């Protein structure tokens, strides 16, 4: 793999992923349970669930008009996976059985060295919980 030359400007920092939903409270509750972090509510239409590394921002479909009508559609993601590093993916699988309607896959050790659990949030967005298990993955994530 090649790396890009050093940019002439500061590198952007990813701070959050925003999900648009028709039911903010339901989705916020789901991510609070998955992460163990409480939400910070700005308005009834917007909340953030922050982890030590990044934030899942959750906005109501009513906010989409602020960005441009039709800019985003709730519960319509078919390409992104929201990923969370966890201490023990198998323990998380057991803990979340009552919260998740159906797991996409059971905990599986992936060829790149992570033990992974793929599930969907209440709006159908893919969520991956993973634990590094190979020496290379452990070194990469400092786990």
Residues 24 and 58 sit within 8 Å (Cβ to Cβ) = yes
Res 2: pLDDT? 56
- For the cut 70, the answer to whether the pLDDT of residue 127 exceeds it is yes
pLDDT digits (tens, 9 = 90+) for 48-97: 999 999 999 999 999 988 888 888 889 998 899 999 999 999 999 999 99
- For the cut 80, the answer to whether the pLDDT of residue 143 exceeds it is no
Say how many C-beta atoms besides its own lie within 10 A of residue 21's C-beta: 22
CATH number of 1-75: 3.30.720.120
- For the cut 80, the answer to whether the pLDDT of residue 98 exceeds it is yes
Q: Any idea where the domains of the chain sit in the sequence? A: 1-75, 77-143
pLDDT-based confidence at 135, cuts 50/70/90? very high
Q: Do domains 1-75 and 77-143 have the same CATH topology?
A: no
pTM score: 0.88
In CATH, what is the architecture of 77-143? Answer: Roll (3.10)
> What are the φ/ψ torsions at residue 131 (nearest 5 degrees)?
-130, 125
Res 8: pLDDT? 74
Res 1: pLDDT? 57
- For the cut 60, the answer to whether the pLDDT of residue 111 exceeds it is yes
pLDDT digits (tens, 9 = 90+) for 1-13: 556 666 678 999 8
> Residue 41: CB partners within 8 Å, gap ≥ 6?
28, 47
What's the Rg (C-alpha) of the chain? Answer: 17
E strands in 54-100: 55-60, 81-85
- For the cut 80, the answer to whether the pLDDT of residue 132 exceeds it is yes
- For the cut 80, the answer to whether the pLDDT of residue 18 exceeds it is yes
pLDDT digits (tens, 9 = 90+) for 22-57: 999 999 999 999 999 999 999 999 999 999 999 999
């Amino acid at each position: 793999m090649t790396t890009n030359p050093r940019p002439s400007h500061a590198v952007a920092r990813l701070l959050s992923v925003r999900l648009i939903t028709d039911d903010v409270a339901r989705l916020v509750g789901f991510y609070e349970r998955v992460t163990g972090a409480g939400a910070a509510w700005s308005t009834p239409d917007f909340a953030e669930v922050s982890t030590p590394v990044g934030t899942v921002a959750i906005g109501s479909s009513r906010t989409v008009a602020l960005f441009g009508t039709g800019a985003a559609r709730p519960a319509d993601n078919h390409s992104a996976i929201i990923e969370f590093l966890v201490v023990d993916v198998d323990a998380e699988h057991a803990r979340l059985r009552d919260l998740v309607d159906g797991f996409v896959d059971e905990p599986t050790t992936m060829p790149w060295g992570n033990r992974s659990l793929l599930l969907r949030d209440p709006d159908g967005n893919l969520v991956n919980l993973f634990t590094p298990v190979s020496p290379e993955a452990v070194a990469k994530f400092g786990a």
